[in-house]
Amino acid sequence: LSEEEILAAEDACRTLMGELSEHRGRLVATRSETACARCLRDDLGTAATTRLEAFKASPLAGRAGCALIAAAYFLALVFYFVSFAGGRAAGIALTAFSVVVLAAGLVLTGGVFLGSRKLCRLLPGRVSYNVFSESFPSAKQQDGKLLVIACTHSSPPGSYFANFALVRKVVFIAVPASLAAFLLLAVLKMALGTDTVAKITVFSIFPTIAAAAGIVPLALHFSFSRDHARENSGAGVAAAAAVYRHFLAHPEQLPEGTRVCFVSFGGEYAAHAGSRAFAAAHPEIAGARAVVIDDITGGRLRVIRKDALRGEVLSRTASAVAERAAKRTGIGYEIAPAEGLKSKLNALHGYAAEALAAAGCDAVMLSSKDYSASDEPAEDPCTVAARVFDFVVNLAAEGEDDER
């Protein structure tokens, strides 16, 4: 790309990001998220056929499922206290039942927190929207000749406290310790009984403290309020839109007859409802190439080719095409590690590219956000968007160095 093209893309990104920034707190299925989707539809509608695609998303799915885990833990604590009402045998039975309630609750609500499709379908839902645009109708698509440019315009939920990274660390430390202490005290209660005032005091106060140490951080980890949302800067959306417009204007840079699609996911932080709905509604993406631009805030680009926690491979060509793009542009990048505890924690909720990969796409995912880090490089989001635009165009386009 020429310097003029990159500067023009940066100006376009700045304009679009300014429009999107008027819609803050874009949590799943909120008015601001819908307004943002309409704004993006109107912007791209001047370049190609663009529409909103509605789907069901639950505000309780995914990250917000922390509140459900806290509720399950609290319910187990209630049954634990009920066990004091009966005799020795009834007390043992009810204490054991409280442990069963806790275990079952953790399995079910933990599944919702991690984004289980089956469990998330059971939750009450609200309407959210994907923004979809295409260079020409799918009926004219030739086999395999499809490029999907994807991003997300929704915002992840934040915490009630300003330092989200610190809250996250507290949750990962306090909750396992709380569960271990509560289970140990429940076992001791069943073994020793509560036939004296001292035992009743110990086995009522300490389990309450242990449970509270887990329930409170879980309940406060994520907020349902728009005021606490971690704002989506729009850099990823602007970069994706600029890439899409570039290929609309320069179809010769792709294999002849290639259909180019743009999709911006809504409700993506609610167990990836947006990307899953898109994959289900567009079976023609099987065999396509996809580039998914995640939350980008600055710093070194990270190419994600595998879900470190679930072991799912998102792209088998990511390393090769990223290296090609880096050679063409001189932009540095790294392949996100797929081993180690830190990588697994970063992949805790999965990725938007997973639904596309499961539908048969080779989905290269780009990010520059590490949620385990407390500090991120301060950089102009428009400059970041322009750099990502340059990288993605060279990653997706064919050139003279490609094998024909």
Output the tens digit of pLDDT for each of the chain's 404 residues: 889 999 999 999 999 999 999 999 999 999 999 999 999 999 999 999 999 999 999 999 999 999 999 999 999 999 999 999 888 999 999 999 999 999 999 999 999 999 999 999 999 999 999 999 999 887 777 667 899 999 999 999 999 998 888 898 999 999 999 999 999 999 999 999 998 999 999 999 999 999 999 999 999 999 999 999 998 889 999 999 999 999 999 999 998 889 999 999 999 999 999 999 999 999 999 999 999 998 788 778 999 999 999 999 999 999 999 999 999 999 999 999 988 888 998 899 999 999 999 999 999 999 986 544 444 545 788 999 999 999 999 999 864 444 33
Helix, strand or coil, per DSSP, at residue 310: coil
Q: What are the counts of helices (DSSP H) followed by strands (DSSP E) for the chain?
A: 13, 8
Looking at this protein, which amino acid is placed at residue 371? Y
292 strand-pairing partners: 150, 365
Domain coordinates in residue numbering, the chain: 3-58+126-158+229-396, 64-116+161-221
Place of tokens 């399950």: 72
Q: Domain 3-58+126-158+229-396 maps to which CATH number in 1.10.150.650, 3.40.605.10, 3.40.630.10, 3.40.50.300?
A: 3.40.630.10
Please list, in sequence order, all residues whose beta carbon lies within 8 angstroms of the beta carbon of residue 330, skipping any fewer than 6 positions away: none
Two tokens at 202? 């110990």
**Beta strands per DSSP E along 70-170:** 126-134, 146-152
Q: What is the pTM of this model?
A: 0.91
